Amino acid sequence: MFSERKVLLVVNPISGNKDKQEILLKVAARAEEDDYVLSIFSTTGIDDLNEIRELVKNLCPSRVLVAGGDGTISMVAEAVQGQEVIFGIIPAGSANGLSADFGLPVSIDESIEVAFGENSVHIDAVKINEDISLHLSDIGLNALLVKNYESGDTRGKLGYALEMFKTLNEHENFQVRITTDQGIIETEALVVIIANAKKYGTGISINPFGDMSDGKFELVIAKKIDFIETAKFLTGNTEFNHDVMEFLSVEKAKIECLDREVYFQVDGEYKGLVRCVEAEILKNYVTVLVP
């Protein structure tokens, strides 16, 4: 039986290279003000998913709040999926792409206000092999950028910008076969994005068709770097040159890298090299508090 007066806060202490003490103090003050019993869990990187599942089972909170980046948010969503729990996000990562898609405020005070509010939406997730993605995952260029960023010394958007030059010099296109219920595409690709949402945390709208509640995800297949097509992204234009960019809205897809293993990331977490991924929509996966 889930308690209306219990809240669990999950904190990733190292996300975004930011001190979380202010978030902890302000969430504790708001929980006391609203007469909630607050429990706090700090991730360690060791079996966090199962630890959170056990906490939710034992504590029976009515809402679970997350202070971390997109990877932490997706992990906690997986932990509470199927439970009578609403889900609040306090942006505290390096890029905070999910928060941008939900229109969540940047300030701690305003995001806590939303997290203790009552306005919520049901959102889908995408199962990619054994991982859960709420936001944006990809194979190719951006996954290599995530890998380089994780091994770099600078955090935040500046860190991504610094690593981009290195990534562009290292990356090579790859041959890919994509199978969906709409047919088979074989092409050379710079990146294949599995997009449940619209924006990367840098603010770039990579998927103008994205809707996290529509029961589908998009495949964005970028075949080469093209500054005109990139400008179309930034201005919201949805008429693209299909020799440069392809979009598919699907419920399932199989993506095979034909010539070699390719870099792969899920919601900002580098996962390694892959030859094949299979993706499937999971409808109404979790309930998220929004402005």
Question: CATH number for the domain including 215?
Answer: 2.60.200.40
Kindly give, in sequence order, each residue whose CB lies less than 8 Å from that of residue 82, ignoring residues fewer than 6 positions away: none
CATH code for the domain in which residue 24 is found: 3.40.50.10330
Query: Structure pTM?
Result: 0.82
Residue 123 domain-assigned (yes or no):
no
Calculate mean pLDDT across residues 48-61.
Answer: 93
- Whether 290 maps to a domain, the answer reads no
Q: Are residues 163 and 266 in the same domain?
A: yes
Segment 173-207, tens digit of pLDDT:
899 999 999 999 999 998 899 999 887 666 667 78
- Name the H helices within 131-276: 141-151, 156-170, 227-235
Q: Phi, psi (5° rounding) for residue 30?
A: -70, -40
Residue with the bigger pLDDT between 20 and 184: it is 184
Closest CA to 24 of 92, 75, 70, 73: 92
Give the range among 98-102, 137-141, 185-189 with minimum mean pLDDT.
Answer: 98-102
Residue 121 scores a pLDDT above 80: yes
Kindly report the average pLDDT of the chain as a whole number. Answer: 84
H/E run at residue 79? helix 70-80
Q: What is the domain extent for residue 12?
A: 3-118
The phi, psi pair for 146, rounded to 5°, reads -60, -45
Q: What percent of the chain has pLDDT over 90?
A: 54
Residue where a domain stops, chosen among 118, 144, 170: 118
Q: Does some domain include residue 76?
A: yes
User: Does 114 share its domain with 236?
Assistant: no
* Pair (109, 136) in one structural domain: no
Residue 83 has pLDDT above 80, yes or no: yes
Q: Of the given ranges (23-37, 129-143, 248-262), which has the lowest mean pLDDT?
A: 129-143
Name the β-bridge partners of 205: 199
The count of domains in the chain is 2
